[in-house]
Amino acid sequence: MDTSPALKPLILQKRKDFQFTAKDKLTDDNVFDENEFVYGTDACMNAGFGFW
């Protein structure tokens, strides 16, 4: 393991936190039509290297 280069800090910017969505009710269109449960997330973030 080469530890000679300096470590670069990672910056994480959270603009919008995670929001989980579930389409798993028997009356949802995808469950009725295709017998398929759908789960998803929505968020907005950015990550990058920086020196402070």
List, for residues 1-52, the tens digit of each pLDDT value.
Answer: 667 777 778 888 999 999 999 999 999 999 999 999 999 999 999 999 886 6
Specify the pLDDT at position 22: 95
Bridge partners of 5, per DSSP, are none
In a domain, 1, yes or no: no
DSSP per-residue codes, 31-50:
HHHH---EEEEEEEEEEEE-
- Full domain range(s) for residue 22: 10-43
Specify the pLDDT at position 49: 84
Q: Residue with structure tokens 């959270």? A: 14
Taking the C-alpha atoms of residue 31 and residue 15, their distance in angstroms, rounded to an integer, is 32
In a domain, 24, yes or no: yes
In a domain, 17, yes or no: yes
In a domain, 50, yes or no: no
In a domain, 39, yes or no: yes
Does the predicted TM-score (pTM) go above 0.85? no
Specify the pLDDT at position 21: 95
Domain count of the fold of the chain: 1
In a domain, 16, yes or no: yes
